Each structure stands twice: as C-alpha cells, then as structure tokens.
C-alpha cells in the first residue's frame, strides 16, 4: 500500500472497512488513488483503483497555495492572520467553522490551511460517523498540530457531537466504562489538534457546538470577474485553447460557483473536441450550454421547474417548501441547499414568513404568467 503523503491524508468510511482518499501534489499536479480495504473473507491484497477522470481533474484543479485561491479575499486575509499568529505562538490553530453554499471552496480552504500550517489533515464527513467510536478512532490517530476536517458537519448525530466537546476544549476523550451506578469515566489524552468543520446549513448546528469554534468564516458567491479568472487558470492547467468571449460565457452560466464553472468548462471542452475544433469559441460554448439545458444566467431544468410550479400551480406564491418539493418530485433538503440560495441571490425567489414567492425579475426572465391573485409583486 502506498505511503500516506505528508499534509494530505483523508479518511472516509464505507460498507467495507474504509476508503482513504490520498491527494498527492507534485509540481502543481495531483494524483488520486482510491484505496479500498476488502472484507475479512477476501483478504488477499488491497486493490488500487484510479478515480474517474473528472474526479482526478477536480483534484488537479484545486489551488495549492492561498495565492492560487481566487476570491474570498476577506476570509483569506483573516485566515492569514490566524495562521501567522498561531505559528508565532507555536500553538495549534483555534477550531474553525466554515459555512456557505456548496461548491464555493470550503474543502479547498481546509487543505490550504493545513498546508500553510505545515501539518497533516484527515478528512471525513458528518454522515460517515454514526457512533462515538468512529470519531474516537480518528482523533486518537492524529498527531500534534494535525487538522481534522469534517464536511457536512450538520449531519453529525448528537452522540458524536457531544463526544467532540471535551476533545475540542481540553484535548481529551471521555470514555464511559460500565453502566448505572457502577459506571466510571476514563479520560484519554489526545494530541493538540484543530477541527475544521464545514456546513451548508449552519442553522442546524446547536449553540453549544457552534460556540466551541474560535473562528467563523462565511463564503459568499463569487463575482463574474473572479469566476473568469478561476476558469482561465483551469483552462491553462487542462491545456484548453479558448477564443474571445468563451470563458465569459461559461462564467455567466456558472451560478458564480467555482465547482460548477470548472464542470461547465470540461463539458464545453468535450463539445468542442467532438466538433473537431482545436479552439473553444464563444459559439461552441453557447451551443454546449444549450445542449446541457443551461441558460445565460446558469438556470437549469430544475430551477425553471421550481419557478414554473410556483407560478402556475400556486399563482406565484406564497407557497411552502413541502408543497414545492411534492410538486416537482424533489427532496426538500436538495431544493433548500442546492437551488434556493442561487435563485435568491439573483433575485428570482423571495423567502417570506408565509412561504416562497416569485419576484418580478423571475416572471420577466422566464416569460411566466403574472400573479393572478393580485398579490403584491416582489422586486
């Protein structure tokens, strides 16, 4: 089995015994290996699997320094102060909570924080830890100064969350032995580590848990210029030749989200290659995006379905989230986490105390029928 690279260590549980995702950065490139441990009955040897091309490319496109990370200037500035001060005191960083919509760079920032601090990082997600022993096994495997990154931390169950309390405050793990009146508490000392937690739904975190983080950072949507710079860098790394206006077209349709922008860049590149064009032009980018069902504002079929249902089925709103989810056969959480933030960001959807309502901007953009109930329009 390959050696674990310094600074980039990942851990994620699976139905077998574990999956470790190792990201190895060499000369600004990145290789990814998926190492899967087989069940006991088939212990012959580990199987090394190359990740799908897109996932390898996503890792390769991740910035490797804060200078490469475009946008979120205020967050980067505050992180630079936090890391610099901790280095001068020769102390671990305070625990960090990063929140914001998905795809904005929370995981990338966690990597960069560990890299700038010269420490290792282990990665897991809230959904992967079902019992206290799961988090305990990870914490006891850390070294002094290491980072633990928990993605989707709002999905931690209460037992695991409460296990983290003494670990975050006193660097110790409380283990209860026995039951009832004969129960005893054994404390296990832990290395001084830093927890970096990421969430798209900070409101779901309990106050006791949230208050234990010394630094809170919110990531906002990027602007057009920043997205263009991001995909310009990605195009250079992927050796994609682009014509005038192509990157601007992709950026405008990216929902101001780097992850989506990079994905659209790769899909438009595929389209250009199939059309035997050595250059990704604005026209080819427009045709590719149209084929994907994405308009000039980045709205896809589900976005339009949400807006269309609110307009036609519920007369423009107000309407509850459950009703929208039932009407379009989509999960409430998906609508709230994936689609609503952007629709609200561009002013197409308003969330009121009575429910969701369309704005005049949405009605104009999609050519939807006007509100028939004579309710006040929202701008």
- Residues marked active site are found at 106-107, 151, 200, 259
Cis ω before 318 (30° cut-off from 0): yes
Collapsed DSSP state (helix, strand, coil) of residue 212: coil
Backbone angles phi, psi at 29, to 5 degrees: -115, 170
> Quick one: tokens of 104?
């904005």
What is the rounded CA–CA span in Å between residue 346 and residue 147? 36
What is the rounded CA–CA span in Å between residue 192 and residue 120? 12
In the numeric block, the tokens 């950065």 are attached to 25
What is the rounded CA–CA span in Å between residue 210 and residue 219? 17
Sheet with 19-26: list strands edge to edge: 19-26, 29-36, 47-50
Whether 142 and 148 have beta carbons less than 8 Å apart is answered as yes
Q: Which residues contact 80 (CB under 8 A, 6 or more apart)?
A: 66
Collapsed DSSP state (helix, strand, coil) of residue 122: strand
């Amino acid at each position: 089995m390959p050696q674990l690279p310094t600074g980039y260590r990942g851990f994620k549980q699976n139905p077998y015994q574990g999956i470790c995702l190792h990201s190895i950065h060499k000369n600004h490139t990145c290789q990814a290996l998926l190492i899967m441990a087989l069940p006991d009955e088939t212990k012959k040897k580990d199987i090394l699997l190359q990740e799908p091309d897109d996932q390898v490319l996503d890792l390769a496109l991740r910035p490797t320094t804060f200078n490469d990370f475009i946008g979120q200037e205020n967050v980067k500035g505050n992180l630079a102060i936090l890391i610099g001060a901790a280095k001068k005191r020769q102390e671990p960083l305070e625990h960090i909570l990063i929140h914001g919509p998905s795809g904005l760079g929370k995981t990338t920032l966690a990597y960069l924080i560990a890299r700038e601090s010269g420490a290792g990082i282990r990665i897991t997600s809230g959904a992967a830890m079902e019992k206290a022993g799961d988090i305990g096994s990870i914490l006891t495997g850390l070294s002094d100064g290491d980072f633990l990154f928990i993605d989707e931390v709002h999905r931690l169950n209460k037992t695991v969350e409460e296990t983290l309390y003494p670990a975050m405050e006193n660097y110790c793990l409380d283990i209860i032995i026995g039951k009832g009146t004969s129960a005893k508490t054994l404390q296990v000392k832990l290395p001084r580590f830093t927890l970096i937690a990421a969430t798209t739904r900070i409101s779901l975190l309990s106050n006791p848990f949230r208050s234990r983080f010394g630094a809170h950072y919110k990531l906002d949507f990027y602007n057009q210029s920043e997205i263009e710079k991001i995909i310009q860098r990605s195009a250079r790394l992927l050796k994609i030749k682009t014509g005038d206006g192509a990157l601007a077209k992709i950026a405008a349709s990216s929902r101001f989200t780097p992850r989506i922008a990079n994905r659209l860049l790769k899909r438009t590149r595929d389209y250009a290659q199939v059309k035997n064009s050595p250059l990704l032009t604005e026209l080819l980018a427009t045709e590719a995006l149209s084929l994907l069902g994405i308009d000039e504002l980045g709205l896809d079929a589900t976005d339009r379905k949400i807006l269309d249902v609110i307009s036609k089925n519920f007369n423009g709103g107000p309407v509850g989230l459950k009703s929208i989810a039932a009407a379009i056969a989509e999960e409430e959480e998906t609508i709230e986490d994936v689609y609503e933030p952007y629709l609200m960001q561009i002013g197409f959807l308003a969330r009121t105390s009575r429910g969701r309502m369309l704005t005049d901007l949405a009605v104009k953009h999609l050519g939807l029928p006007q509100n028939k109930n004579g309710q006040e329009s929202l701008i």
